[in-house]
């Protein structure tokens, strides 16, 4: 049961306690299933940013020097706290994002819990130093990290950044999405009970221009990590450039799903539509381009329509609902615009479309939509829609499918279906993308997650994600014997 304490927030978490914001404005959370105001949080200011960053910088020496067992103990307390408040996090995902309650519990909360568990696993044998010839190579925490996170999986994607940053010994300032910030405030409540030193974690809510840009440009910040749009990623990189701080970006995707002719077509199409519709299509991992052999195109389209029409779109609090609303009016208008553009460009609309479901007169709802006969150069096939819209693209042969799959400014995720694991793996190796699933293989939380090209910079998850929050220091213990007498006459360091 949601309470006012979960939905009405007046203070920001800075330097180990709740502080009133220095401004007078607030951000209103709109419930996407009802279109009504359902919560409020403070709109932070540049002064709040300065206070939070200063607190993080002051806390860094102590936290970075804490032994690994201290950070492991913190993560164990965090996991216990998240598990204890799982029902509250689930309710907020329904409220803020419109996630159906079953999905909210399994994905929004479950993904977050598994992220914490995965880093506990990684930390068990993560090397902080190693010998390399005559050098000692040391991993050291990078410093103050700003985490800018999106609205689509708010809790899970916050934890995907904050957990490895704190586990590495960094201190953090979190700016959650202004669309869905309430999960972040509940997380701050949980962290307040985890015995972190003051200033190690800080929370400043606000919009991108007012808070996000101030954080990205701040001279005391050592790293900015953002999950968001490619446009937002470019802006963060631009603001970070004058201070050459590290920039870590997880951006958009227009993911290709190649179904080879020897695959179980019915199973592949059904699983692909299911994956596309997760979170109402509002995931960067969505397989929104389905490539099928031209001789199987008609059958695949019929199967996709059957799968899409089986989804029940409705109230996220109803356990029978498969799809909830999109997150906002802006998101709904964007998806409708793309559907309309697809029709104008000549794609074959088979089901779904612009109109809301007939039995829902309120909320930002859209039906699962399937286009057949899509050309790979159409807008539908090139731009990220972020909604449950599938483009089915026929191909002549495998080479053509791979070529079209790689013809995209993005390179985040992909999928290959085949009756032969050997053939599927061969195709997967040819895809220019950071992840590829073969025959619907599940997500591995300790494998690297990230993309090529305009899908971002760097990786998240597992030891590769932990690496992002470290600097490497080489300590030379002895000069190589091969240098001989040169050691006495040539200065090798600082040249």
Residues serving a catalytic function are: 250, 284
Torsion angle, alpha carbons of 285, 291, 297, 302, to 10: 0
Torsion sign over Cα 351, 356, 360, 364: positive
| Distance separating alpha carbons of residues 276 and 390, to the nearest angstrom | 7
Q: DSSP alpha helices (H): ranges in 313-455?
A: 329-344, 379-382, 398-405, 421-430
> What is the C-alpha separation between 88 and 459, in angstroms, rounded?
30
Give 280's DSSP letter: G
Q: Report the C-alpha gap between 251 and 236 in whole angstroms.
A: 12
Neighbours of 129 (CB within 10 A): 11
Q: Which tokens sit at 196?
A: 């972190």
User: By the 8 A CB rule, do 148 and 225 touch?
Assistant: yes
- CA 378 – CA 372 distance, rounded (Å): 12
The pairing of strands 129-132 and 135-141 is: antiparallel
Among 210, 366, 196, 394, smallest CA distance to 294 is for 394
């Amino acid at each position: 049961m949601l309470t006012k304490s979960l939905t009405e927030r007046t203070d920001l978490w800075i330097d180990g306690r709740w502080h009133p914001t220095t401004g007078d404005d607030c951000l209103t959370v709109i419930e996407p299933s009802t279109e009504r105001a359902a919560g409020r949080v403070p709109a932070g200011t540049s002064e709040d940013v300065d206070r939070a960053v200063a607190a993080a910088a002051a806390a860094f020496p102590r936290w970075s020097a804490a032994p690994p067992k201290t950070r492991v103990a913190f993560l164990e307390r965090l996991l216990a706290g998240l598990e204890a408040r799982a029902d509250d996090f689930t309710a907020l995902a329904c409220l803020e994002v419109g996630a159906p309650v079953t999905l909210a519990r399994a994905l929004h909360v479950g993904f977050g819990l598994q992220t914490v568990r995965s880093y506990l696993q990684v930390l068990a044998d993560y090397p902080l130093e190693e010998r390399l010839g005559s050098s000692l190579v040391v991993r050291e925490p990078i410093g103050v990290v700003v985490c800018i996170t999106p609205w689509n999986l708010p809790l899970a994607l916050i934890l995907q950044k904050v957990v490895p940053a704190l586990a590495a010994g960094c201190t953090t300032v979190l700016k959650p999405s202004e669309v869905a910030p309430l999960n972040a405030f509940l997380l701050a409540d949980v962290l307040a009970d985890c015995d972190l030193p003051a200033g190690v974690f800080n929370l400043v809510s606000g919009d991108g221009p007012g808070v996000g840009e101030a954080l990205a440009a701040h001279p005391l910040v050592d790293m900015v990590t953002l999950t968001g749009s490619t446009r937002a990623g470019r802006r963060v990189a631009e603001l970070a450039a004058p201070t050459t701080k590290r920039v870590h970006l997880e951006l958009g995707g227009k993911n290709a799903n190649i179904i080879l002719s020897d695959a179980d077509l019915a199973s592949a199409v059904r699983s692909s539509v299911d994956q596309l519709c997760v979170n109402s299509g509002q995931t960067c991992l969505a397989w929104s381009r389905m490539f099928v052999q031209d001789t199987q195109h008609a059958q695949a389209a019929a199967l996709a329509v059957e799968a899409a029409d089986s989804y029940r779109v409705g109230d996220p609090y109803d356990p029978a609902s498969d799809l909830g609303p999109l997150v906002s009016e802006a998101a709904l208008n964007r998806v409708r615009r793309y559907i309309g553009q697809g029709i104008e460009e000549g794609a074959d609309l088979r089901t779904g479309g612009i109109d809301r479901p007939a039995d829902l007169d309120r909320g930002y709802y859209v039906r699962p939509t399937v286009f057949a006969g899509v050309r790979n150069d159409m807008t539908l096939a090139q731009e990220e829609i972020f909604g449950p819209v599938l483009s089915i693209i026929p191909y002549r042969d495998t080479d053509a499918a791979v070529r079209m799959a790689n013809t995209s400014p993005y390179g985040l995720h992909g999928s290959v279906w085949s009756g032969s694991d050997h053939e599927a793996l061969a195709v997967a190796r040819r895809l220019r993308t950071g992840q590829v699933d073969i025959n619907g293989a599940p997500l591995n939380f300790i494998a690297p997650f990230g993309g090529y090209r305009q899908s971002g910079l760097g990786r998240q998850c597992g030891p590769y994600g932990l690496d992002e929050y470290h600097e490497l220091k080489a300590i030379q213990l002895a000069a190589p014997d091969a240098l001989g007498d040169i050691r006495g006459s040539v200065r090798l360091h600082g040249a």
